[in-house]
Amino acid sequence: GFLGYVPTGAWFIPTVELGIALSIIYAAAVAILTEEGHPARERTMFFVTFAIGMVHGLGFSFVLHEILKIDSPNLWQSLLSFNVGVEIGQLAIVLVAWPALLLLRRLNVTAWHYSRLALALACIVIAGYWTYERVPAVVDSL
């Protein structure tokens, strides 16, 4: 990680990158296989959201380690700017996608259901490809 608080073994970064792909597959599978509003789904999605945040945060820390130096004069400003930029990007996506999905749900529930399914399946396919790409790096690092 950026501040040096995570393991430095050759296996760690490839394992985190694989974990990122697997976390996306898992989240999409939960979205497909569980009923909306079901208490088990709500608990599962809380865990999934937390785990994805942690794993993706580790991934970002490796990127930061490559582009910033620990002794940079503006380290904290750079870290804050990076994180604010990531959050603004996520917020922009949500501000576009969420209203569109809500409108679709109001206009045509069937189309909304199939759109959610298609989006989740697309996430599974893309993250599945990432998994396929990343497994050899994990195996080679062991």
Task: Give the structural domain span for 87.
Answer: 12-141
Q: How many domains does the chain have?
A: 1
Domain assignment of residue 127, yes or no: yes
Start-to-end Cα distance in the chain: 19
Domain assignment of residue 33, yes or no: yes
* Diameter of the chain measured on Cα atoms: 55
Domain assignment of residue 5, yes or no: no
Tokens representing 94?
């949500």
Burial letters for 115-132: b for 16+ Cβ neighbours within 10 Å, e otherwise?
ebeeebeebbeebeebbe
Tokens representing 96?
């576009």
Tokens representing 134?
């990343």
Domain assignment of residue 1, yes or no: no
Burial class (CB in 10 A: 0-12, 13-18, 19+), 30: middle
Domain assignment of residue 3, yes or no: no
pLDDT in tens, the chain (142 residues): 656 667 777 888 899 999 999 999 998 998 888 877 777 777 888 888 888 888 988 888 887 777 777 777 888 888 888 889 989 999 999 999 889 988 998 999 898 889 889 999 999 999 999 999 999 999 999 8
pTM here is 0.80
